[in-house]
Amino acid sequence: MQYEFTIQVLPEVAAKEELLKKEISVKNNLSLKEIRYIEILKRSIDARQRIVKINLKVKVFVNEDFVKTPIELPEYPTVDTAREIVIIGAGPAGLFAALRCVEWGYKPIVLERGKDVRARRRDLKAINNDHIVNEDSNYCFGEGGAGTYSDGKLYTRSKKRGDVQRILKLLVGFGATEQILVEAHPHIGTNKLPAIIAEIREKIVAHGGEVRFETRVTDFELKNGEISAVITQGGTVIDTNKVILATGHSARDIFELLYRKKIAIEAKPFALGVRVEHTQELIDQIQYKCDVRSRYLPPSPYSVVKQVNGRGMYSFCMCPGGVIAPCATSPGEVVTNGWSPSKRNHPTSNSGIVVELRLEDFAAYERFGPLAGVYFQKEIEQRSWELAGKTQRVPGQRLMDLVAGKVSTHLPQTSYKPGLSSVDMGAVFPPFIHDVLKKGFVDFDKSMKGYLTNEAVVHAPESRTSSPVRIPRDRQTLEHIVVKGLYPCGEGAGYAGGIISAAIDGEKCMEACIRSL
């Protein structure tokens, strides 16, 4: 017999099979000897009370053996001679669109401006150690997109958009741990994700698809309101009337190209702020209400949302046991982001703390039309670069000093490798953002007592939270509202917000594209 139960237990019980069997036996009146196996279906942490508990959804096998069902990839056909579909961008949207393309019997040609995951590492080392920004190969651009080397979180609220479990199972099929199917907030880790991304690419190529690296798209050809060709920086013309545009939220040159060619785009609200680093020990003490975190508990994340001056201020992309990374995509700017390895075992934690922006905030940039948000974002990144010394050092300030409005006399070393320069955040941000940050951090401390400490260090800016542009598309066909055959897709087009939602959108756009054929 098989039974499904939900149960709440202590962390030690959740970690030890024999203790869990005893707990389930007692609470559900089952014979301990007859319980053959317990399959954990879902796991989450409840840290709201002083005693932390683990919520489990389990399947219990009573007098019945457990037979593991292996997770297998779809049967991909060989498509080397099939009809071709061009995909611009090899982030999660582009790669999962390509997989779906192969699965449905068509040949994807993926054009990626950056390098493969292995070659990208040299450019990441250059930006960290030598402050050299490669515009085509960095933390945002290259195989796997921004998610590959900036954490690999798989949690999404976009469950209505598609089959999240399908995407997670595909990732497991390509090498991810099966724990991502169980955890409430699954995470692969920056150290593990590159190998999985490479496996996806190798599968696409093995079945006849193409992935062309260091191939930046610089122009489109249109005929009678339909896409007719894609032109690369090297002058190659690729004739096609079907293009999945999945270039990511930082591909400003693509936004500029669309605007220049009068292909409809529109400004979109986004959020912008700072990245704050605490010790992981302090966050554990606050969240788990303890002096020392139990060895049966993972490093704690946090999530805080406040309303300040009528605006949302909230934590974003929180990285337990992680580090802060330089994520500029052009010389003359600085950008921060965060990531964690799979074990989340760094001594520091960090989170973006961002302020909600509205279209009216970009009024001073209205001469740029739908690119107003891009130029608002760009100006803050360039100002930060100048204030911090015109390298990849970023403006930094101790957290309580920010709230008090004074420049920090000394900044401790943080996980941000290029380094910090002491700067008043009031010089970085417009007054309305600076004021929300100052008040908001006081409110954060009311929810997380001890959060507001001068041992915490603020890094600026956290500016690439989502695309500042939306590329409008038809709700039914998913084609651009004006240009036929062009399918705006993923984060860069304004239709996703992370690895899973981008992958789902990539699949949906490819399915819509193929149906049109």
pLDDT of 357 reads 98
Nearest-angstrom CA–CA distance, 71 and 170: 8
In this structure, is residue 338 part of a structural domain?
A: yes
Do 28 and 102 belong together in one domain? no
- Based on the structure, what is the number of domains in the chain? 3
| Whether residue 200 sits in one domain with residue 174 | yes
- Say whether pLDDT at 160 is over 70: no
Write down the residue that tokens 């910090």 correspond to.
Answer: 420
Task: Give the residue-averaged pLDDT of 203-208.
Answer: 98
- Separation between Cα atoms, residue 504 and residue 385, nearest integer Å: 35
Torsion of CA 167, 172, 176, 180, to 10 degrees: 70
Both structure tokens of 207: 């079945």
What's the predicted TM-score (pTM) here?
0.95
Do 370 and 320 reside in the same domain of the chain?
Answer: yes
Q: What value does the mean pLDDT take over residues 313-338? A: 97
CATH number at residue 24: 3.30.70
Residue 149 Cα to chain centre, angstroms: 10
For 242-256, the pLDDT digits (tens) are 999 999 999 999 999
Tokens of 94: 């582009």
- Report yes or no on 75 lying in a domain: no
Q: Quick one: pLDDT at residue 162?
A: 74
Whether 445 and 315 map to the same domain: the answer is: yes
pLDDT band at 449 (very low <50, low <70, confident <90, very high): very high
| Residues 457 and 479 reside in one and the same domain | no
Residue found by looking up tokens 């949207």 in the block: 93
- Please check whether residues 386 and 414 belong to one and the same domain: yes
- Judge whether residue 159 has pLDDT over 60: no
- 467 located within any domain: no
Calpha distance 109→86 (Å, rounded)? 5
> Does residue 74 fall inside a structural domain?
no
Kindly state the average pLDDT of the residues 103-129.
97
pLDDT per residue as tens digits for the range 20-74: 999 999 999 999 999 999 999 999 999 999 999 999 999 999 999 999 989 999 9
Q: Let me know: does 261 contact 445? Beta carbons within 8 Å.
A: no
Residues of the chain above pLDDT 70, percent: 99
Confirm whether 238 is domain-assigned: yes
In this structure, the answer to whether residues 92 and 54 fall within a common structural domain is: no
- Residue 431 included in any domain: yes
- Domain housing 321: 271-462
Name the percent of the chain lying above pLDDT 90. Answer: 95
- Reply yes or no on whether the pLDDT at 173 is more than 90: yes
Judge whether residue 481 has pLDDT over 80.
yes
Shared domain for 458 and 312, answered yes or no, is yes
pLDDT above 90: residue 91: yes
Sign, CA torsion 72/119/253/215: negative
Rounded to whole angstroms, the Cα distance separating 420 from 384 reads 11
Asked if the structure places residue 248 within a domain, the reply is: yes
φ and ψ of 227, to 5 deg: -65, 135
Q: Which pLDDT score, from 0 to 100, does residue 190 have? A: 84
